[in-house]
Amino acid sequence: MSLLRAVATSALATAHAAYDALVCVVPAPITPHLGALGPASGAIENALAIDAAIARGGRPPVVLGATGAPGGRVVLAVYGSGQPLTSDVEDVRLVAEAAAAGVARAIEAGASRPLVLTVAPTGAGPRFSKVTEVAALAALATQWFPLEAREAGKAPKGAEAIGVVGLDDERAKWVDAIEQGKRLARDIAGTDPERMAPLRVAALCEEAFAGTGIAVTVERDVSAYPLLAAVARASQVVERHRPCVVRLEYVPSGPVERTLILAGKGVTYDTGGADLKTDGSMAGMSRDKGGAAAVAGLLRTVAALGLPGVRVIGLLGMVRNSIGEESFVSDEIIKSRAGVRVRIGNTDAEGRLVLADLLAEGRELAEHAKNPTLVSVATLTGHVYRAHGPYVGLINNAPSRARGDVEQLDALAEQWAEPLERSRPRREDYALVAPRSSAEDVVSSNRLASVNTPRGHQFPFAFLDIAAGLRGGNLPFLHLDLAGAAVDPPDWQFGKPTGTPIATLAAWLAT
Write out the catalytic residue numbers: 277, 352
CB 273 within 8 Å of CB 350: yes
CA torsion sign, 7 to 13 to 19 to 24?
positive
> Could you tell me where the DSSP H helices lie in 56-146?
93-108, 131-141
DSSP 3-state assignment of 333?
Answer: strand
CB 112 within 8 Å of CB 160: yes
Residue 353: which residues within 8 A CB-CB, separation 6 or more?
227, 228, 230, 231, 342, 344, 444, 467
Q: What is the 3-state secondary structure (H, E, C) of 181-238?
A: HHHHHHHHHHCCCCCCCHHHHHHHHHHHCCCCCCEEEEECCCCCCHHHHHHCHHHHHC
DSSP 3-state assignment of 115?
Answer: strand
CB 145 within 8 Å of CB 186: no
CA torsion sign, 496 to 490 to 327 to 465?
positive
Using N-to-C axis directions, what is the helix angle for 198-208 and 290-305, rounded to 10°?
A: 10
The secondary element (H helix, E strand) that includes residue 342 is: strand 341-343
Distances in whole angstroms, Cα of residue 272 to Cα of each of 227, 269, 280, 351: 15, 9, 12, 10
Query: Which residue from 341, 344, 339, 340 is spatially nearest to 329, judged by alpha carbons?
Result: 344
